[in-house]
Amino acid sequence: MNRPLRALLIAAVLASPALGATDVSMAGGDIRFPVPDGWVPIMQSEGEKETQVFQVPGSSAADATLARVSIAVQKVPNLNGFQQFSGNLRSHATALPEYAPGKANSPTENVYTAKEGAVKLDYFERYFYSKGYAIQLRCIRPAGDAKFSAAFDKGCADVAARMPS
């Protein structure tokens, strides 16, 4: 293979937004982002508020059952609508059993723990406003397995970094 063609192919691969990822399209194609290939789609809803949920296989049966990521998208008229969307979801979170706030790194994040059944879960939510849509990325995982938690958190951070804004 000649050198310029090889350089072009390498540049194309490096410019790809997500190698080993599955592209997700929501809101009639207005919102697009990649998720890791290993994430299994388990639910999708359409309507005024569109949601996609992915199960994230883990290192144990408990992780595989409980670890999941959801993306909710809703058309809003303006930034006030976005603030109402995120405020309503944050309010809902505080009503979860044994809710305990964590330390968020930005105003668009919500970090907390809560119980689901008998299991304590870590929640990481991130809010985005793009093309007239309010978007919530919600990552939920059980604590305890450091290796799984690190991989899960990296996947969530990668999706957050690729959300349209």
- Residue 35 sits in a domain whose CATH number is 3.40.1000
Q: Give domain status of residue 26, yes or no.
A: yes
Read off the pLDDT of residues 92-148 as tens digits, 9 standing for 90 and up.
999 999 999 999 999 999 999 999 888 889 999 999 999 999 999 999 998 777 888
* pTM for the full predicted model: 0.84
**Looking at the domain assignment, is residue 94 inside a domain?**
yes
Whether the Cβ atoms of residue 71 and residue 52 lie closer than 8 Å to each other: yes
Residue 10 domain flag: no
Q: Do β-strands 133-142 and 31-36 pair in parallel, antiparallel, or remain unpaired? A: unpaired
